Structure formats: C-alpha cells, structure tokens
Amino acid sequence: MHGEYKVPGGKLVVVDLDVEDGLLKNVRVAGDFFLEPDEAILQIDAALEGAPADIDTTGLKTRIDAALPGSAVLFGFTTESVAIAVRRALAQATDWRDYDWQLIHEAPQSPALHMALDEIITTEVAAGRRPPTLRVWQWDSPAVIIGSFQSLRNEVDPEGATRHGVTVVRRVSGGGAMFAEPQSTITYSLSVPEALVSGLSFADSYAYLDDWVLGALGDMGIKAWYQPLNDIATEVGKVAGAAQKRMVGPDGGPGAVLHHVTMAYDIDADKMLDILRIGREKLSDKGTKSAKKRVDPLRRQTGLPRETVIERMINSFRTRYGLTEGKVTDEEMALAQDLVRTKFSNDEWTARVP
C-alpha cells in the first residue's frame, strides 16, 4: 500500500507498507523533508512496524513520538503527518495527480444558481458522471450567503439587505455568513471524490484542499497560511473562508466532497456591516474589536486586477495538477435550475433556521 500526504506549507511525506495478519509490515517512510539525526528515519520505520492496521492517527503518532530521541529535529513535517500518510495508505487514498481535473469558469450567474450548481456538480462527481472539478464563480449580483445551520434573523439585517439590493441565500455547507459583490469577491468550488481525502480528519481535509491556494498566493508574493478551522490568513488579516459538505454516493457508496472558498479581493466594510449582524461574541474570539479589521483584501496585498488574480490562481492549479477546460452540461444546468425553483430561491430553505 502507498500513501502520500503533503503537509500544508511544508513537505511531502510518503509511506509504503504491507499488511499481514492485521499488522503493518515492511514500513518505509520517505519524503523531501529534513530530519536529524540521520538514523531517526529508521526509528520511525521501526515504530510503525507491527502496529495494528486499524490503529488511528493518534495511536500512530504516539508510537513514533515514543521511538524518537529527544534530540530529533523534524523540519517540514511532523510525526502526525507521518501518521496521516500511513492512514491514507491504509485507506487507499488517491492523489491530486490521479485525476483529470476539469475547469468550469463561465459567465456571471445568480446567487441561487451558484448554490444549486455546487450541489449538482458535486453529486455528479459522487456518481462518477463528472470528473473532479474546479469551478470558479462569477456573480451577477451582490449576495449574502449564510451557512446551512445559521439563524437568518441573527445574521442578516433585512432592511440593510434591501437597501443595498443584496440577495440572501443559504448554502448546503456549514460555517459563517459571507458578503459577496461581483467585482470584490473571488469564489471557487472544488468538487472532489471522497477518496482524495481518505485517511484525513475533517479538520485536516480543510488544510489539504486549501494547500494549492497557499501556493498560488505565494506565487503572487503573499505569505499565507491555513488557520483552523476554515480560514486562510496572512500577516495583515484573513483573506478567505472555506466551507465543506460531504455527499454520499449512489446506493450509499463512496461519495464526494464539496469544498468552496470565498476570498476578499476588495470589500466595502461599511456596507457589509450595514447588512450583516456580526455579534460581539464572534469578534471577541478573533482578538479584534472591529469587524473591519478581520478581513484584508487581496487587492491591497497584490496590487493586481481581480481578473489577473483569478487567472494566476487557475494557472497555478493547472501547473500543479493539470486542468482542462469544461462547462456545465445542459443536463446539469436543467437540474440546477430545477433546484433553484424548489430549494435555493425558496423561503422554506432560506429561512429553515429562522
């Protein structure tokens, strides 16, 4: 069995192993990381040898920690990342490069249609009828997108939304409310087979699926990092927030993961505060008294036009994993439009948590 795990912002960890009588055998850990002393790599292998095949990540990490000398120095990886690579090997997880990725980057669409397309495209990936897909959104109007479990009245000031012509929609994933304007927001979705994140915890999957974005921002001169649970941050503030939804495959089989991210290219903070009811409790755990200081837009940090930032992000993904041009099929669009009518433009869904 073979497993790989790219540490977010770090190095690649590779594990090859066999399983005999329910135990790990012939374990070999490798990668482009740095490790001292030299013989510590053999101690890691020995610590994993004979471990039960059903042991979890914490148990594997504990075995490795106990085997390493106190003087050991790990750079670019951790004992936990080795444990994750082992679990991915045992789960027969796939790698980004195992797939033929497709790009969808089409004309501006309504907020409700974007919500529906996320659900339909990910369902199609789960069913095996569509390849793993990167969809870069274009908005045709301003919107507030609230999380699946958020209270509508607690998050949105309806008078403010009406005053600014903002559509309020509810997405299928959890997380917090996002304010989006067509020329001020960069939004994308990844619809990926569940196998890509096999062996990863829910939290680890966020960092794993965001790692390419950190690289893309780095190529534009921005030092960014993943900030648990679902933010992408820089030295001057948050630049993006992510959310996920797991979808079951046909007949309960392996499914797919929807991972979507909203990035602040620019932001009208006064307008945002006039529409969103951002509570003091939410701000207090971010270590700031002002909502305006929570987000630092990419426009200021890159000095690049929005379209250029998007183009560079797409090219970065293409360089790393390959990417072919695609589109929403007629059948997918029909399904999505039906879902707009029956769900995403329906008050019953939008106000399901009043």
> Are 180 and 140 members of one domain?
yes
315 and 189 both lie in a single domain:
yes
User: What pLDDT is stored for residue 82 in this prediction?
Assistant: 98
Residue 101 structure tokens? 């990725």
Q: 168: domain CATH number?
A: 3.30.930.10
Judgement on whether residues 169 and 298 belong to the same structural domain of the protein: yes
* Whether 68 and 171 share a structural domain: no
- Whether residues 268 and 128 share a domain: the answer is yes
**Confidence band (pLDDT; 50, 70, 90) for 281?**
very low
Do 60 and 137 fall into the same domain? Answer: no
Q: What share of the chain is helix, strand, coil (3-state, %, to 5)?
A: 40, 25, 35
Same domain, 330 and 266: yes
Whether the pLDDT of residue 219 is over 90: the answer is: yes
Query: pLDDT tens for residues 247-273?
Result: 988 888 789 999 999 999 999 989 999
- Is the pLDDT reported for residue 285 higher than 70? no
For the ranges 49-53, 269-273, 309-313, 335-339, the lowest mean pLDDT is seen at: 269-273
Across residues 34-56, what is the average pLDDT? 97
Of the residues 90, 120, 142, which one is the last residue of a structural domain? Answer: 90
Q: How far apart, in Å, are the Cα atoms of 162 and each of 143, 335, 343?
A: 11, 29, 21
Domain boundary (36, 66, 90) is at 90
Last residue of a domain, one of 41, 70, 90: 90
**Joined tokens for residue 115:** 């919500």
* Crossing angle of helices 330-339 and 111-126, rounded to 10°: 120
CATH code: domain of residue 30: 3.30.390.50
Same domain, 66 and 204: no
What is the tally of structural domains in the chain? Answer: 2
167 and 112 in contact (C-beta within 8 Å)? yes
Q: Are residues 214 and 331 in the same domain?
A: yes
242 and 317 in a single domain? The answer is yes
Same domain, 111 and 86: no
- Which residue(s) pair with 104 in the sheet? 135
- Contact 183/306 with Cβ under 8 angstroms? yes
Please check whether residues 125 and 62 belong to one and the same domain: no
* Host domain of residue 141: 96-350
Q: Give yes or no for residue 74 having a pLDDT over 70.
A: yes
